[in-house]
A = this chain, B = another copy of it.
């Protein structure tokens, strides 16, 4: 049995990043949203992930937002920012910054420009960051999201990293969409900090000994996901899981990030929320309306009052 020094557990939200009319990050709205996510039951914030459009932001923009978040009173112990970039020097800079701000961990993409690279090369990429940051406080959650990054992290690589840096490489977010990956990871490395990248796999993850979920839809459905997390062993665990799975599927029938922003815009009655940076685009009015109608029909609580308006 391998001991892994992670205690991170729960529902983490990869917070979306709002933009102003110049497409600059809207810092005030970002902070407000992050505070609300914690109030709604998220255990923590995995800011600057795929959902946060982190790779559409410069390193300076990411550092500015993280500084503002900590200055707003959110403790580093509940923040797990994404810090993996295409460029080694960018990853080192962001990771160092996160550690200095006391972040509980970092979620780390592999360098994602070159494809079909070797495991030795990917190992070196992570090793260089770890050695250069050189700080025992650094806790890395590997970010496996091959459909977007184009660079899968296979289990032998994960194992080699965890064996070489057991106090540092302590977990992984599985956004492959394939449950078998997490299942095998937890079977071969019990105790490893495995998070599912979608709440669809939350109950499976927890029953298999995993740590929870880091899921985009927590931006709009945190209370329900938190309930499912808390009750996974209860009688009602299966029902709550079915509820959040059904809702997730309604949302992900559309491009995820624009869909989340449409929902937030509708709930907050603030069209500023709709903005995304290219190459993403906001949902069309039609798609947005269809999404909202589907959620209302599903009894989505933040919209139940609006349901009356829509149905009339």
Interface assignment of A122: CB less than 8 Å from any CB of chain B: yes
A57 to chain B, nearest CB (A): 6
A259 to chain B, nearest CB (A): 14
Which among A27-35, A68-76, A86-94, A230-238 touches the partner chain? A86-94
Q: Kindly report how many copies of this chain are found in the complex they form together.
A: 2
Interface assignment of A156: CB less than 8 Å from any CB of chain B: no
Known: A61-B89, A150-B150. Contact between A111 and B56, CB under 8 A? yes
When each residue 114-147 of chain A gets 1 if its CB lies under 8 Å from chain B and 0 otherwise, what string results?
A: 1101101110110110000000000000000001
Q: Which residues of B contact A87 (CB under 8 A)?
A: 55-58, 61
Q: Which residues of B contact A61 (CB under 8 A)?
A: 87, 89
Count residues on chain A whose CB falls below 8 Å from chain B CBs.
39
Partner of A86, one of B56, B110, B118, B120: B56
C-alpha spacing A279/B119, complex, angstroms: 9
Is B88 a contact partner of A23 (Cβ separation < 8 A)?
Answer: yes
Is B150 a contact partner of A115 (Cβ separation < 8 A)?
Answer: yes
Is A279 a contact partner of B114 (Cβ separation < 8 A)?
Answer: yes
C-alpha spacing A125/B56, complex, angstroms: 10
Is A114 a contact partner of B58 (Cβ separation < 8 A)?
Answer: no
Interface assignment of A148: CB less than 8 Å from any CB of chain B: yes
**Which residues of A26-48 are within 8 A (CB) of B?**
none
9 A-B pairs with least C-beta separation: A55-B113, A125-B278, A124-B278, A121-B279, A117-B279, A55-B86, A58-B89, A125-B279, A121-B281
Q: Which residues of A contact B (CB under 8 A)?
A: 23, 50, 55-59, 61, 86-90, 93, 110-115, 117-118, 120-122, 124-125, 127-128, 147-151, 277-281
